[in-house]
Amino acid sequence: MSKNMQKTERMKELVKILSEASYAYYAKDEEIISNYEYDRLYDELEALEKECDMVLAGSPTMKVGYEAVDELPKEKHAAPMLSLGKTKDREEMKSFIGEQKGLLSWKLDGLTVVLTYENGKLSKAVTRGNGEVGEVVTNNAKFFKNIPLKIAHEGTLVIRGEAVIGYEDFRSINAKITDPALQYKNPRNLCSGSVRQLNNQITAERHVRFFAFSLVEAEGKEYMNSRQEQMEFLKQLGFEVVEYKEVTAENMLEAIEEFAEKITTYDIPSDGLVLIFDDIAYGKSLGRTAKFPRDAIAFKWADEVRETVLKEIEWSPSRTGLINPVAIFEPVELEGTTVSRASVHNISVMRALKLGIGDRITVYKANMIIPQIADNLTGSNNVEIPHTCPVCGEKTEIQTMNDVQTLYCVNSECPVKKIKSLTLFVSRDALNMEGLSEATLEKFVAEGFIRSYKDLFHLDRYKEQIVKLEGFGEKSYDNLVKSIEGARNTTLPRLIYALGIANIGVAMAKVVCKHFDYDLEAMRNASEEEVSQIEGVGEIIAGTFCSYFRDTLKVKVLDELLSELNLEKPEAGADADKLNGKTFVVTGSVNHFNGRSELKEIIENMGGKVAGSVSAKTECLINNDTTSTSSKNKKAKELNIPILSEEEFMETYGVEGTI
């Protein structure tokens, strides 16, 4: 085979690999190869295309983004949304700007959305999609944390920006998902799924933010030939714009370094920078290529890669029985911190990397944050898949779904499953039993105090033994029992979430229960077809939900549990819409409610919403320490948001306390 034929065959191979990875990432929110590996293969393909003067049909170098899925309405963009050319060379950034002035800003790692306002009101929101056709997500965009629904501009206004979820919110959302297999891999995937939801209640609970980065049209506004002037105009209308710096060739390297130093503590996911000419007319005069505009370029961080040695693969069990491989390697310094472990995600990824103990591997931090394996320099492929669970010693099995292989412990009595399930059951968003940490549950299970959920309500049988345990005493025991007794009065959404049904998180539990009017019997007897018709559910969630209630053992456990509980059904009384459309933030301790979670539920039952941070949309900040210098108080003062004590809030909005 000639060299040219070899190159053509390699191009075909690369097109297939990259297309599959791109489809999984953009359309299915799955990551089958790392960003590092994708960039490396993309660069190789691009170089081969230039060398051979050939571009194969379907090449990802000629495509942009994902194909719009069928669940949401589609709409063609007025003008194609192009990708940007990219570089990792800082000197090339200086050459690109030349004698011109430009704006250097974050390249945010989320989902690009186009917002259209008509006569001051948000009329349409469309995702980027494949650059030609996007998905209409208007109802969801109205629940982004920080976009104005009404602006002081007559006529049509069209802007582009990035919908994102910050690392703090990402970690908070993942912390509520006790099963690592169900946790989101990164903020970008979480954001994409949140924006493209069919149920905007879920979008609202995900704390999606929007940062404008481009003004497309402003009807009636005098033409602005400066990108910076446009950004300031958008700020005046109430939009948050992407952070940027004014640059020339002289201060380019200094500006890039400032961003590089900031990214390690920056809460918003970013995978690089964007440089665009400030002079709009000049930029447009440069034209475009088939894929890229010539007025802007993306700067990708040159990943800091370190070589190290793989010491072992640690197998980490979870509540569902999934056993995740984790790479343990010789510690190395990456982006200013010492790292020694990285998730390998599943068996398929581990085998693709051909990992073996003692292999020389290279590691990096994705987006300078999350440790990942970049490459395996040895490829000995000698890691053995454990035939038994590292915790209970019982048999494991490899399961395949969507061509991805994962390892499971099939022992229903595995202690890890029991501990993790119990931990979820007593957590704040579930039955909310204070005093039962995972460590305490481990002790109680080991002592034989707890064998099932029902046993949690009868710990009084073991009072004598419990008060003698290390860290316990009469007072701790009394507080624990009081908390457990309080947990008997709960709601159906809390119970459904507490059961740990796969894919049923806090928000989804509320959606399903509300659909069935909080009728547990109706939920238990519902068909998959009926459940899948609930907005935002779909076939996969419906399948796992209904299969739970077809499991006779699980139904028996539930029936036993119901005898211990008093399920309170929300009443749609006169106050149901009292706080409709209002968003509140609650911080600090409360005195008239059983914790902030109860106050949150009351606000939601009255039609309001509770956010995790203060924004321009916040109705008021509820904080008994109104004079504190906390970050939330400072933010509220900056935005002129009222800071009310608990009593002031109750009096102003007619909310009654419970204690």
Q: Which residues are catalytic?
A: 107
CA distance 648 to 646: 6
Judge whether 112 and 162 are in contact, CB under 8 Å. Answer: yes
State the Cα angle at 14 between 8 and 16, rounded to 5°.
Answer: 105
Amino acid letter for position 426? V
Element (H, E) at 35: helix 35-52
Query: What residues contact residue 241 under an 8 Å CB cut-off, 6+ apart?
Result: 161, 211, 212, 213, 231, 234, 235
Number of CB atoms found within 10 A of residue 509's CB: 23
| Nearest CA among 601, 631, 603 for reference residue 615 | 631
Residue whose tokens read 């608990």? 646
622's tokens? 């509820």
Judge whether 225 and 161 are in contact, CB under 8 Å. Answer: no
- Residue 320 φ/ψ, nearest 5 degrees: -85, -5
Q: How far is CA 255 from CA 104, 108, 262, in A?
A: 8, 17, 11
Amino acid letter for position 595? G
531's tokens? 């459940």
Q: How far is CA 62 from CA 15, 68, 267, 596, 601, in A?
A: 11, 17, 32, 51, 49
